[in-house]
Amino acid sequence: MGNIAADDRDPDCIFCKIVAEEIPSDRVYEDDQVIAFRDLHPKAPLHVLVVPRRHRRDVRELAEQPELLARTASVASKVASDLGDGDFRLIFNTGASAGQTVFHVHAHVLAGGSLAEEEM
């Protein structure tokens, strides 16, 4: 696991380095397509990032591979069930003006606390 073809990897990308285990992360799930690890700066009691192993810039590019998008969503659901009560908010920041800072697609899984009362 973790061997990604050169075409599917950006040598300057921090999440590609996390996928390759060149940078440590607190991994909570992995399979042959997707990994999930805890966000370094959690914004909720449970805050996990679900990251396809292949380098795709954002969810617009990920949507060109519907199976991989679906896998990302189902792993988000599994993480929320395994580590929380199963309810979760799923966010893809897409583009700098929407708050994206890491340009390797990732789904934020946010759960716990008082998410229901918070505004988007």
Q: For binding to ligand AMP (CB under 6 A), which residues are involved?
A: 14, 23, 25, 39-41, 49, 93, 99-102
The answer to whether the CB of 18 falls within 8 A of the CB of 28 is no
Nearest to 106 by CA among 48, 64, 65: 48
For residues 11 and 99, which CB has a smaller minimum distance to ligand AMP in the complex? 99
User: Least distance to ligand AMP from the beta carbon of 102, Å?
Assistant: 4
- Of all residues in the shown chain, the one whose CB is closest to ligand AMP is 93
C-alpha angle 42/33/14, rounded to 5°? 50
User: Least distance to ligand AMP from the beta carbon of 71, Å?
Assistant: 19
User: Least distance to ligand AMP from the beta carbon of 100, Å?
Assistant: 4
Cα–Cα distance, 87 to 91 (Å, whole number): 13
